[in-house]
Amino acid sequence: MRFALDGEQTAFAATLDRLLTAAGTPAVVRAWAAGEPGPGRELWGRLAGTGVFALAVPTGYGGLGPLPVEVVCACVELGRHAVPGPVAEAVAVAALLGRLGERAAAGAWLPRIADGRLVPTLAAPGGGPYALDADAADVVFAVDEDGTRLRVAAGHGAVQPSLDPARRLARPAAGGEVVARGEAVRRAAAHALDWARLAVAAQALGAGRALLDRTVAQVRRRTQFGRPVGSFQAVKHRLADVLLALEFAGPVVYDAAVALAGAAPDAGARVAVAKAQAGEAAYAAGRAALQLHGAIGYTAEFDLSLWLGKARALRSAWGGVAQCRARALELTSMR
């Protein structure tokens, strides 16, 4: 099977790349990590202007979608530029409300998510007890652990330390407005989990590519014994392994998006496989980057640390590698 983006999708990704390059995202990430969401919220608004947050919102509610392949295109670029914020959670909220069948709830929230006026986050089964960036979001949705109740949480708890300082985790507070109850919530939450994993897989793929690009540039600059470090066979092999891992993960992520777009019966399994494979590839890119940059790679002041933290955190977000593989096996054996 051959996966190739069409001209419109390629142009969309290029537009995001130019916007994010001009935005200087490392400074935005550092401000976000310090609890200053202003620059990140401003960037969120500019991304909304390109339609990024409308891609997962159904057309009947002011969106452009649901368009999983385009969501992957966008999230790869957002990962490549280490954009902070609850991106995957916003995608998942749109999928959840769009699938729920509660017209009042969808009509109340989705148009504002699509045009960027509202930054949502979500805690739901499969993603752990924490909501990402609840302190910077406008609304915190929470699905109960048994999956039978969706509510808008009445605030959030204290921000917890994270592998990535720019991923600020907090538990949704108890109570709040109940949006929906029953089996429909469980089905919608399962659908949202697939979308969250797909978005995270795409972000991991982008982060892995950024780590590889930066490492290749570094080994071309850095010299030893009068030669660029990158000319040594061992270094070439290490980077070739990373490149292969990312190149193999890319089609798997797009395959999962195609499965979701077509509502394939095995879409959940294919998304879980994509999440595991992209997470592993990005993590391998991070390990290679850390080794080949030398001691400077460990310093928080060096921009590489922004992608290292993101790759590590995305590997476990919305289900770690073992959890996703187990889920894929479970779903496959049920068919």
Residue 134 is given by DSSP the state T
Distance of alpha carbon 191 from alpha carbon 68, whole angstroms: 12
- Which two three-digit tokens encode residue 268? 């959940």
Residue that the structure tokens 């995957």 belong to = 88
Question: Highest mean pLDDT range out of 3-7, 94-98, 162-166?
Answer: 94-98
Cα–Cα nearest to 212, from 192, 184, 236: 236
pLDDT higher than 90, residue 279: yes
The predicted model scores a pTM of 0.96
Q: How confident is the model at residue 97 (pLDDT cuts 50, 70, 90)?
A: very high
Q: How confident is the model at residue 2 (pLDDT cuts 50, 70, 90)?
A: low
pLDDT tens column, 230-243: 999 999 999 999 99
What domains are there in the chain, each with its CATH number?
A: 187-334 (1.20.140.10)
Cα–Cα nearest to 119, from 40, 201, 12: 40
> Under a CB-based contact definition with an 8 Å cutoff, are residues 154 and 166 in contact?
no
Peptide bond into 251 cis (omega under 30): no
pLDDT of residue 1: 58
Report, as an integer, the average pLDDT of 20-45: 96
pLDDT of residue 101: 85
pLDDT of residue 161: 83
pLDDT higher than 90, residue 298: no
pLDDT tens column, 246-256: 999 999 999 99
pLDDT of residue 59: 95
User: What percentage of the chain carries pLDDT values higher than 70?
Assistant: 99
The amino acid occupying position 74 is: A
Distance of alpha carbon 330 from alpha carbon 70, whole angstroms: 28
